[in-house]
Amino acid sequence: MTIRRIAKIFKSRPTIEGAGVHLKRAFGYSQVPQFDPFLMLDDFHTSNPDEYLAGFPWHPHRGIETITYVLQGLVEHGDSMGNTGVIGAGDVQWMTAGCGIIHQEMPQLSPTGTMWGFQFWANLPAGQKMMAPRYRDVKAGDIPQVSLENGVTVKVIAGEVAGVRGPVRDIVIEPEMLDITVPAGAEFSHQLPAGQTAFAYVLSGEGYFDDCRDAYAYEMVGHGWTDLERRCICGPETVVLFEHDGDGIRVTTNGQALRFLFVSGKPLGEPVAWYGPIVMNTQEELKVAFEEYQNGTFVKG
């Protein structure tokens, strides 16, 4: 296995979205196409209900898939296909907007006092941007957890680890989505298809994400000009984007355990025209989408 090296490290930044949800944006519009086929990752993590209860009221999507993963709290979903439901701790919601869907995602008062979850946007290829919408929620109990011999545990949402496949399958970009915990003083190695875009998002603890151990071997984005400590070990709210060369990753820890999300997918290599909640390939396609939304023909069928 040829170990991939780090291409860039990004620090998430505070922002407000929806009707007033406070969150950290790990990456988004300005990073296109570095994360192709992924467009955005938002981390909403707060114990203040005023920072999340306003939620994301009814709004349209076209041309993308949205993936929501909840660690703590509750999120209520509704959409123009008639799907409704609530996802809670450990649950995943995977929605393909395709040709057009209108939905809302409304956090509820968290039973633990803390709301913590993530939303990814994944792009759809041109030939499938106008596919029929679809929705799936996956309960925590249906997500297998693999225990490896060195104490590493992996929740397999999509993809495969040690012969165990995750429940999210038949997705256009052939994604892999893993929730990985590495104990202190341990190592995790994982093989992945060559050429796939791959990144990690650190939830807690710290670890090394390649064998180089050189903080000056890659670009660091989002760190303030007064941040003069440059470390090759990565901590919470950090995105590690891997180079495309190589067919595997290796993550090691020292004195702290590490928990991170690992995500990979097949890059599309297509032009991106993006405005608000709609992502197409051309500006003309965006114009059509917004005209249809205004005249009531956005949702097909």
CATH number of the CATH domain containing 33? 2.60.120.10
Residue numbers of the chain with a pLDDT score lower than 50: 224-226, 228
Domain count, the chain: 1
This prediction has a pTM of 0.94
- Domain membership flag for residue 100: yes
- Domain membership flag for residue 121: yes
Q: Which domain, by its residues, includes 17?
A: 6-295
Other Cβ atoms less than 10 A from the Cβ of 21: the count is 20
- Domain membership flag for residue 240: yes
**Nearest-angstrom CA–CA distance, 44 and 201:** 13
Res 62: pLDDT? 98
Res 130: pLDDT? 97
Res 230: pLDDT? 59
Q: What are the CB-based long-range contacts (under 8 Å, 24+) for 12-17? A: 12/43, 12/222, 12/237, 12/238, 12/239, 13/222, 17/42, 17/56
Res 225: pLDDT? 46
How many C-alpha atoms does 101 have within 13 Å on its Cβ side?
25
Phi, psi of 155 (to 5 degrees): -85, 120
HEC secondary structure over 205-226? ECEECCCCCCCCCCEEECCCCC
- Domain membership flag for residue 42: yes
- Domain membership flag for residue 210: yes
Res 269: pLDDT? 96
Res 122: pLDDT? 96
Res 221: pLDDT? 72
- Domain membership flag for residue 1: no
Contacts of residue 296, defined as CB under 8 A and 6 or more positions apart, other chains included, come to none
Q: What is the CA radius of gyration of the chain?
A: 19
- Domain membership flag for residue 251: yes
- Domain membership flag for residue 274: yes
2-20 burial, b at 16+ Cβ within 10 Å, e below that, comes to: eebbbbbbbbbeeeebbee
